[in-house]
Amino acid sequence: MLELTAKPLTPDAFASFGEVLDARTSPSFSINAGRTQRHHDLAKVETLGENGHTLINIFVSQPVSLPLKLTFLERHPLGSQAFMPLNQERFIVVVAPPGEAINPQDVRAFVTDGRQGVNYRAGTWHAIQSVLAREGEFIVVDRGGEGNNCEEYPLDITVTLSE
């Protein structure tokens, strides 16, 4: 059993797994006659394989209980997957680097602060969406198309929050 304490999510700590989506830490430029700041091109959307194309989805998820007990991580080899909360929901992120096997020492657990989203790079191992405290609504941008784009890797992980 791998036991992890989730740490606050930061762009640097997450850089090898994908991108953090956050208007507070990303550059922007003014559009719409100055009424809007555009935080432009924040993450790489990958849609690989046959008929690969981008999907825009809404996930409505029930909260997880803590400590979070995981029995697997999953990956999407053919595409990236981004989650952005619509109502400042916090969620737990558990990731491991792309590869055919997971080294338990490389698994990392993070917790978001409500203003952050994530984009998992294609092939990054991750826990399925794990929203905290209340039902959560998320914009999810990922890949549609042919082929199997969801693989699971059995791994028992318990995640706690330090707070």
Residues making contact with ligand UGC (CB under 6 A): 74, 81, 126, 128-129, 150
CB of 76 to ligand UGC, least distance (A): 6
Residue 149 binds which entry of ligand UGC, Ni ion, none, CB below 5-8 Å type-dependent: none
Residue 13 binds which entry of Ni ion, ligand UGC, none, CB below 5-8 Å type-dependent: none
CB of 23 to Ni ion, least distance (A): 23
Kindly state the tokens that stand for 137: 């609504």
CB of 158 to ligand UGC, least distance (A): 19
In order of 41, 56, 83, the CA distances from 60 in angstroms are 25, 14, 11
Which positions lie near Ni ion, rule CB under 5 A? Answer: 81
Q: In this complex, which beta carbon is closest to ligand UGC, that of residue 37 or of residue 97? A: 97
Q: In this complex, which beta carbon is closest to ligand UGC, that of residue 37 or of residue 108? A: 108
Residue 158 binds which entry of ligand UGC, Ni ion, none, CB below 5-8 Å type-dependent: none
Bridge-partner residues for 5, per DSSP?
160
CB of 36 to ligand UGC, least distance (A): 30
Helix (H, G, I), strand (E, B) or coil at 49: coil
Burial of 60 (0-12, 13-18, 19+ CB in 10 A): exposed
Kindly state the tokens that stand for 63: 């909260």
Q: In this complex, which beta carbon is closest to ligand UGC, that of residue 37 or of residue 153? A: 153
Residue 30: how many CA atoms within 13 Å on its side-chain side? 3
Return the DSSP state at 114.
S
- The answer to whether the beta carbons of residues 154 and 105 sit under 8 Å apart is no
Kindly state the tokens that stand for 136: 């959560």
Residue 2 binds which entry of ligand UGC, Ni ion, none, CB below 5-8 Å type-dependent: none
